[in-house]
Structure 1
Amino acid sequence: MSFTPNVRRPGAPRTARRAISFYAALLIAGASAACSDSNPFLSPASRENRISTFSVWTLTGSNPTFPAAMLFTNLTAERPQVLSNGSVNFEVAFDLTGDGKVRFIPARALVPQSPAGAPVVGLQRSSSAFNALTRAPERGYTDDSTLVVGVNEVVLVRLASAGCIYGEPYYAKVAVDSVIASERRIVLRTLVNRNCGYRALTEGLPNT
């Protein structure tokens, strides 16, 4: 009676080979994403980007009931205040300098010790025109520090406390369209990408 031994051929077990193939595919996808500057692990975008125009008044010298700040995550103009729960109702407030330029004031710069904490806001001056700026950079922002710009200048905004599950920020662009000094009023044009982690700054449903 002959006996043929059950000899396993060298190499990784089939389950291990499948696992290796799966993780290799993930690495390849990650490498491809890095090359294309997109993130395949983001949730599908559900909110369309739209350009909006707002009038805000200055923190100083204007009617104290007029809106002097923006809550970009809700696309609303607000009068800055600390709410009853200790949080603040805005992300960036606005004022004018002596020479008529616009001062962007992040919430933490205005209310550094809000009882419930204020949102983290990064600002960055852009050298591009509003319409030419199609994608927000990941780096280069200064968190919670004021920024002064003139009419027709554009500011990039990173909202790190946007409420996304994994902590991804919202990104936005803001142009100072005009300053009506006699009214202490500032006209802003903005586009906020309210899809967690997406950096596209063009109108419509973003892909990245």
Structure 2
Amino acid sequence: MARPLRPLALLAAVVLAAAACSDPNDLPRATIANALTTDTLWTLSTGPLTKPSAYSVENGGAVRTWEVGSSFEFAYDVTAGGASVLLPLRTLGLGSTTSLLPGLLRSTATFDAMKKAPLNGYVTKDTVAVAVGDRFFLRTGINSCSLYGVPLYAKLEVLAIDTAARTMAVQVVANKNCGYRFLTVDTTSS
């Protein structure tokens, strides 16, 4: 009698394996279209308090670091030597010490060629030097999608740095569908 169960068990194993391969994250269908935005950030250390010096994928743009409840992935600043830098959240002593940290991952690809964010390799605890034309993938912490335990992803390009005004202009495409990594404009796919 044990023999007839073997093919059934094998079939069940194949079906389960196929289902597991279809969507490893079991994410809900993407519903928010990706959009291209531009923003200006002022320096964290010397910029006006009324101006934003950080970027938040979750909030969809530049934010002020001191506002209650503001979450962000990095802040912009200029060193004493005049170098422009991005400061991931953890370099500011903020963010969780136990969960996934927000981070930046430098890319050598053109902005348009940055179609899908990588899962790993993000700088989370070091200052990142930045210049006009530099491009990065961004990853949020888990806080924005805590129900699913996955981050949001975006791509960023530095358009201009004004050393006199101490500002940096960027363009960003963010995928605000939790866990989805495709970064082309108007995409609601994974």
> TM class by shorter-chain length?
0.7 to 0.9
Whose Rg is larger? 1
The equivalent residue for 1:192 is 174
- Aligned partners of 1:70 and 1:90 also within 8 Å: yes
Query: Which of 44, 47, 59 in structure 1 is aligned with 2:29?
Result: 44
Q: 1:201 to 1:99 in 2, by over 3 A?
A: farther
Aligned equivalents of 1:144, 1:88: Cα separation in 2:
19
The answer as to 2:118 corresponding to 1:137 is yes
Unaligned runs of 5+ in 2: none
Aligned equivalents of 2:52, 2:75: Cα separation in 1:
9
Aligned equivalents of 1:207, 1:180: Cα separation in 2:
36
When the two chains are superposed, the root-mean-square deviation of aligned CA atoms in Å is 2.8
The equivalent residue for 2:5 is 12
The equivalent residue for 1:171 is 153
- Aligned partners of 1:155 and 1:175 also within 8 Å: yes
Tell me the TM-score normalised to structure 2 length. 0.84
Query: Which of 97, 107, 128 in structure 1 is aligned with 2:109?
Result: 128
The equivalent residue for 1:183 is 165
Query: Which of 70, 77, 82 in structure 1 is aligned with 2:62?
Result: 77
Tell me the TM-score normalised to structure 1 length. 0.78
Number of residues paired by the alignment?
A: 188
The answer as to 2:187 corresponding to 1:205 is yes
CA deviation digits over 1:16-73, x for unaligned, max 9? 92x6534422312444x5xxxx647221001110110001111122222211111211
- Aligned partners of 1:156 and 1:172 also within 8 Å: yes
- Aligned partners of 1:123 and 1:156 also within 8 Å: yes
Unaligned runs of 5+ in 1: 1-7
CA deviation digits over 1:63-98, x for unaligned, max 9? 222111112111132221163xxx554331111246
5 Å-filtered alignment, 1:81-120, equals 81=66, 83=68, 88-97=70-79, 101-112=83-94, 120=101
- How far the C-alpha of 1:100 sits from its partner, in A, is 5.3
